[in-house]
Amino acid sequence: MEGVGADDGGLADTASVAIRSMAGPAVLDEIGFRDAGAGEWIEVWFRDSIADVGALAIADAVSAPHAVDRGPVPRPAQAGVYLVLAQDPARVRARFGLPDSVVLGVTGGWPTLNDEGTAGEPADHVRLLLDGAPSDAAPYWGEASERGGSLERLSPDLPSAAPGTWLETIDRSGGTPARPNSMHAPGAGVTARGPLLVAGARVLRRGPGGSPPVVFRATAEARGRRLTVRVQDLLGRPVRTLVEGQRFVAEGAFLWDGEDDHGAPVPPGLYVIRAEALAEEGTPARFSALPLAVAAGGAR
């Protein structure tokens, strides 16, 4: 590229990059990357309304974006609704008993989603774009779907790139396209609350019959301040650092999957989730702690 040089008192050139500073209006909510009789598909949930689903496009880790084939006229989508994008829309409709209106294809061919990755690496990435700008993206691991079912997002509040945000469906049909997921973060009815954190559960159960990772959210008192959150045992020894110096300027969420800093499962027992709002000009440091039990899987 050519332009005015620095010696001429101007910029040599300029560049522009499309970025998004908050969660996009369309988010990935379910990924059917294994062909279980209906081809590959993904489910999109709309956090906000958009004027035309034709502005959406999807891609995998390496492919160019493929626009949604919404038909000859613009088609809006309201906040809170689902849209399923499928490799073979007719097969997905027949497999899950869905109406034509909620399952669409894409133009130019489907971006084939890999089933397996190299050791320790994601099998693939799903990218969702709106008007050419990133709206959401999620890596996934092939071993996360041991029974061939879809991967469901526990909550749209959780970071899409975190492996613990996604769990394999327990629905008998192998997926829940265009309807609420079978796996989700614990609801507000079983929370533990402290001045800085709210926990989505009091017990984390591992193994067969176990529970999803525990979701933590920053309270209104913690927002705007830098937080450090660590898991400790009852002797005060550090087990896992969950957040270190992150400033939560809005409602933030993160999770713990019951593993230590080295990726090993922690022994069953009682742990303390210790949060510290770091001291800043005009605000003293603030501390809070929540107890959390880790148990073997089984009936609650």
- Give me the mean pLDDT over the 81-107 stretch: 97
In the predicted structure, residue 296 carries a pLDDT above the cut 70 = no
Fill in the amino acid letter for 100: D
Pairing of strands 214-218, 197-199: antiparallel
Domain assignment present for residue 180? The answer is no
Residue 249 inside a domain? The answer is yes
Q: Give the end of a domain, one of 137, 168, 199.
A: 168
Do residue 37 and residue 147 come from a single domain?
Answer: yes
What band does 33 get if pLDDT is binned at 50, 70 and 90?
very high
Look up residue 14 and give its amino acid. Answer: T
Which of the residue ranges 76-90, 136-150, 165-179, 204-218 has the most confident prediction, judged by mean pLDDT? 76-90
Q: If you search the block for the tokens 């009852």, which residue do you land on?
A: 234
pLDDT band of residue 43 (cuts 50, 70, 90) is very high
Task: Work out the pLDDT band at 276, boundaries 50, 70, 90.
Answer: very high
Residues 66 and 198 in one domain: no
Q: Does 22 score more than 80 pLDDT?
A: no
Domain ends where: 168, 196, 215?
168
184, containing H or E segment: none
Domain of 79 in residue numbering reads as 26-168
Helix, strand, coil share of the chain (percent; to 5): 10, 35, 55
Is the dihedral angle over the CA atoms 59, 118, 253, 183 positive or is it negative?
positive
- H or E element in which residue 285 lies: none
105 and 212 housed in the same domain:
no
**pLDDT confidence of residue 31:** 97
Average pLDDT over residues 91-110: 96
Residue 20 lies in a domain: no
Could you tell me if 164 and 196 lie in one domain? no
Q: CA-to-CA distance for 29 and 69, rounded, in angstroms?
A: 20
* 214, β-bridge pairs: 256
DSSP string, 129-163: EETTEEEEEEEE-GGG-SSS--EEES-TTS-TT-G
Q: Is 178 part of a structural domain of the chain?
A: no
Q: Which amino acid is at 250?
A: A
CATH of the domain at 105: 2.60.40.1260
Residues 215 and 131 in one domain: no
Domain final residue, candidates 168, 202, 217: 168
> Does residue 14 belong to any structural domain of this protein?
no
pLDDT digits (tens, 9 = 90+) for 214-223: 888 888 888 8
**Do 30 and 77 fall within a single domain?**
yes
The residues facing 231 across adjacent strands are 240, 273
pTM metric for this prediction: 0.63
pLDDT tens by residue, 152-161 = 998 887 778 8
- What CATH number does residue 278 fall under? 2.60.40.4070
Can you tell me the distance from the alpha carbon of 210 to that of 38, in angstroms, rounded to the nearest whole number? Answer: 29
Do 244 and 273 reside in the same domain of the chain? Answer: yes
In a domain, 57, yes or no: yes
Give yes or no for residue 210 having a pLDDT over 80: no
- Among the listed ranges 68-77, 176-185, 249-258, which one has the minimum average pLDDT value? 249-258
State the Rg of the chain over Cα.
Answer: 22
Find, among 215, 28, 18, 264, the residue nearest to 124 by Cα.
Answer: 28
How many structural domains compose the chain? 2
pLDDT value at position 6?
45
38, 146: one domain? yes
Which residues are within 8 A (CB) of 295 and not within 5 positions of it... i.e. 6 or more apart? 203, 204, 205, 206, 268
Higher-confidence residue: 78 or 189?
A: 78
Residues 74 and 134 in one domain: yes
d(CA 144, CA 75): 34
Residues 32 and 125 both lie in one domain: yes
Residue of higher predicted confidence among 130 and 23 = 130
With a pLDDT cut of 90, the percent of the chain lying above it is 48
Domain match, 158 and 204 both: no
Residue 281 tokens read as 């000009």
Q: Is residue 280 part of a domain?
A: yes
Q: Phi first, then psi: give them for residue 67, nearest 5 degrees.
A: -75, 150
Q: Are residues 158 and 202 in the same domain?
A: no
The whole-number pLDDT of residue 59 equals 97
pLDDT per residue as tens digits for the range 159-193: 788 777 888 888 889 999 999 998 776 554 546 78
Inform me whether the pLDDT recorded for 82 exceeds 70.
yes
User: 192-193 and 197-199: which strand pairing?
Assistant: antiparallel
Identify whether 281 is part of a domain: yes
